[in-house]
Structure formats: C-alpha cells, structure tokens
Structure 1
Amino acid sequence: MNSRIVFYEDRNFMGRSHECSTDCPDMYSFLSRCHSCKVEGGCFMLYDRPNYMGNQYFMRKGEYADYHMMGMANGMRSCRMIPMHRGSYRMKIYERESFGGQSHEIMEDCDNIMDRYRMSSCMSCNIQDGHWLMYEMPHFRGRMMFMRPGEYRHFMIAVVDNNSSKRTSHSDFY
C-alpha cells in the first residue's frame, strides 16, 4: 500500500493543493497555508510548526475538511509519513530521565502506564521495535508524541506526564 496525503490551502479541500508521500519539513514551501487534507493511504503525523515541531496530530486514511474542528489552531506546517511495521513492537520505559529509576518493557498497547507498572512518572524510553504514540493522559487521550526506534533520554513538554502508549499497528493503515 502506498502512503499518500493531499494538503489543501483552504477548508473543505478548496484552494491550491500539494500531494505528499514522504516526510515534508516545511509545507509552506508548497502552500501559503494548509487548512484541510485527505489521507488517501497510510498514516501520517502532522505538526503545527515547521521541522516536525509543535503539537502533533495522528492522521489515518480519511478526509479532514477543517483542522479547527479537530482542535488544531493554525493549520499544519510539516508532516512525517509513518512507515507500516509488520514485525513485533517493543519499548523499554524508565521512571527517570536518561534511563534512570524503575524500568519496564512494553510490547503491547498500554492505556495507563502509571497504574499498570506502579511508576511515579515515565521520563525516558528506548524504542526497540515498531513505531509508537505516547499520550500525556490515560486511555490514549491528550497530546501525543510520535516515537520511532531510538533512545529518548528525556521527553519534550508534550509528553512529560505521559500516561499511555499505543503502537501504530497494521490496522491503523486501513
């Protein structure tokens, strides 16, 4: 399956458009503004600032006619294509920054990290397999952060109090 997203300058898929199938660090090099999109295949993480910064929004196949209706204030400025992962999912979470304190391995969705693992906080992690979404509140609510394989010595503000994690699973792409 091919990942593809089409961005539109105005709400309701109006105005100029730009099609994208890979990462795009600054959409303003193609469009003067971006207020709606259609995800025609795959999944994408959209950001409200250039260079994959700011608030993040997970988008799966579908039509998004008005970013304001989804709680987005200023339209989108950059996007990352989330590659499909068919293997296992694995990450190790740590109570403190720089992999300190209590640690636990997660291999499936967890709707409340603090309760399940009796941790006072979750401040760093090592994503070993798969792509994950970390949420700031339990039950996959609140702001989220897209995490690819690698070490995260300390979370950015968006997930400092994260309480849940979800894999970007194969089913998200349909």
Structure 2
Amino acid sequence: MSRYSGKILFYEGKCFTGRKLELCSDCDNFQDRGFLNRVNSIRVESGAFVCFDHPDYTGQQYILEHGEYPEYQRWNALNDHMGSCRPIAMHGENYRVELFEGENFGGERAELHEDCPFLQARGLTKNCVNSIKVYGDGAWVMYEEPNYRGRMYIVERGNFSSPKEWQSESATIQSARRVANYF
C-alpha cells in the first residue's frame, strides 16, 4: 500500500451500524456517493485521513488515524455532520516544522521535531501562530488549545504564510503533534 492511500469506513449509526461508505481516496462530497452527511462512527483500517464537516473539503477539520471511533465524540466532533475527506500524504518518518508568531515567517520562531503539548513552553511568547513551514516527510496537526484539544488543522509539507492557508480564521495555535499512525 502506498503511503498516500489508506482505507476508511464511515457508518451512519453508532458502533459501526447502519449504512456504510468505504473510501480509499479523496471524496469531495459524500452525497455524490449516495451517502448522507450523517456519520456516527468511523473505522480507519489503514492510512490517516483529514475529514471535513462540509463538502468540498471545507468546514471543521478532523484528523483520523488508524483505529476505531464508535461515536462522533471520539474524533472531537460536536455533531454528526461529515461531508468530505481525503488521505493525508505521508512520506516517511522525518518530522520538522517551524512555527512563526508573525505572518510571512516573521516574529518569534519555534522549531519542532516531536509532539508538543504546549507551544509557549517551546519559546513562543504568544498563543498565536501566523505562519508555518513544514519540512521533512511527515504531516502535523495544529490545535487551538494546549494538550491537543480544540479545533484542529492539518499541515503537510510546504509553506503556509497565514492562517487562511491552513483553513483557519484564527491564529490561535497552542499545541502540535505529528501524524504518525498511518498503518
């Protein structure tokens, strides 16, 4: 299996019951596949996926790695809406990210190679990140709150000069972790 693919199953009912939708690649609109936008449980058999509560890869992001999620609260959702998803591109195991307090890679900077539950302990003086550079092989999840809580955003290899580029309306980022569980 390529590190760019995986397999995810969405179920309308809790505990893997009801109609299901099986995907191994991008899906920009679940309704186009005959599946309603109500998802109450998910099983990720392989890979890692970023899912969105609206079609066309918009809205709240949820990062789902290998494992079982018997109810929507397990992936930190507030409701059972889900409209699109795509696999997370995993290239290998070399992780490196630079976080900048200012837009366009300015201001205070912190570099990470491992998960960080509280970014202010790593040199950032504010609780905001306005630009990001992702190097190496792996993808990262940025969280609005410490200890990997709150809204989450996926960033993969590349440069993000403002929060809008990782689909955030806010620069509040207080914790970060690697997407590592993809098999």
Whether these two folds match at TM > 0.5 is: yes
* Residues in 1 aligned to 2:148 and 2:119: alpha-carbon distance in whole angstroms: 11
Instruction: Describe the SS at the equivalent of 1:38.
Output: strand
Point out the structure with the larger strand share: 1
Percentage identity across paired residues of the two chains? 34
- State the one-letter code of the partner of 1:59: L
Task: Check whether the contact 2:101–2:124 (CA below 8 A) recurs between aligned residues.
Answer: no
CA 158–115 in structure 1, closer or farther in 2 if over 3 Å, else same:
farther
Q: Deviations over 1:125-158 (max 9, x none)?
A: 1112220000111121211101111111111446
Alignment match, 1:173: 182
Task: Check whether the contact 1:46–1:76 (CA below 8 A) recurs between aligned residues.
Answer: yes
What runs of 5+ residues in structure 1 fail to find an aligned partner?
none
Aligned pairs (5 A) from 1:34-53: 34-35=38-39, 36-53=41-58
State the aligned residue count: 172
What runs of 5+ residues in structure 2 fail to find an aligned partner?
none
Aligned mate of 2:160, from 139, 146, 152? 152
C-alpha RMSD of the superposition: 2.1
Q: CA deviation at 1:159?
A: 5.4
* Residues in 2 aligned to 1:17 and 1:126: alpha-carbon distance in whole angstroms: 37
Aligned mate of 2:132, from 122, 125, 141? 125
User: 6-15 or 92-101: which moved more?
Assistant: 6-15
Q: Does 1:61 align with 2:51?
A: no
Q: CA deviation at 1:68?
A: 5.0
Aligned mate of 1:17, from 1, 20, 23? 20
Instruction: Describe the SS at the equivalent of 1:101.
Output: coil
Instruction: Describe the SS at the equivalent of 1:79.
Output: strand
Relative to the length of structure 1, the TM-score reads 0.86
* Residues in 2 aligned to 1:109 and 1:65: alpha-carbon distance in whole angstroms: 26
Alignment match, 2:37: 33
Task: Check whether the contact 1:55–1:158 (CA below 8 A) recurs between aligned residues.
Answer: no
